[in-house]
Structure formats: C-alpha cells, structure tokens
Amino acid sequence: MKILIKNGRVIDPARNFDEIADVAIAAGRIISVGKPPEGFSGARVIDARGCIVAPGLVDWPCACASRATSTKACWNPRWPRRSRAA
C-alpha cells in the first residue's frame, strides 16, 4: 500500500532535517522525505498539518502498549493519548 503523509513538520535528526514536508511510503518503507517522487500517488493520504512526523523513530507509548509484556514499566499516564504510530 502506498501512503502519503502531507504537510507535517518532519523532524529527522539523522539528516538534520526540520521543516514542513511530505513523507512517501510504499510497501511499508519510507521512499522519500521532502517532496514525493514524480508520479507518486498514495492510496491513503494523511494530512499531518499541525503534527510532527518523525520518520524512522519509534513511538514509545505505542511500542510499549503493543508488547506482550506488562506496560507498567514503560507507560506514563501523563503522556498524551493522542500519540499513534502510522
């Protein structure tokens, strides 16, 4: 499935990248950060305006909640519940 995340504040510390941009994903892999490849059309388009997009980083609340072990060791009830991994 092709996914296009548009208009989010993309932060990629490895590339020292921090700007409003798009992220294109195909077959579960990030194929571009910035401007999507020519002709790329996402089957799903997500408008991330006002959100931070951090490609390649793990969302700890989701990673912890999805594990088969107890989440008490890594869950903090003060973390926002709006946090989701794509």
| Residue range 53-64, pLDDT digits in tens | 988 776 555 555
- Residue 34 in any domain: the answer is yes
- Residue 38 in any domain: the answer is yes
Q: What percent of the chain has pLDDT over 90?
A: 50
SS3 64: helix
Average pLDDT over residues 23-50: 93
Whichever domain contains 41, its CATH number is: 2.30.40.10
Distance CA 8, CA 4 (A): 11
Higher pLDDT, 7 or 71: 7
Contacts of 63-66 with C-beta under 8 Å, sequence gap 24+, read none
pLDDT confidence tier of residue 41, bands split at 50, 70 and 90: very high
- Categorise residue 27: left if φ over 0, alpha if ψ from -120 to 50, beta otherwise: left
- Residue 26 in any domain: the answer is yes
Residue whose C-alpha is closest to residue 54's, from 83, 77, 79, 78: 83
pLDDT confidence tier of residue 18, bands split at 50, 70 and 90: very high
Give the Å distances, CA to CA, from 26 to 12, 67, 69.
19, 25, 30
Q: pTM of this prediction?
A: 0.66
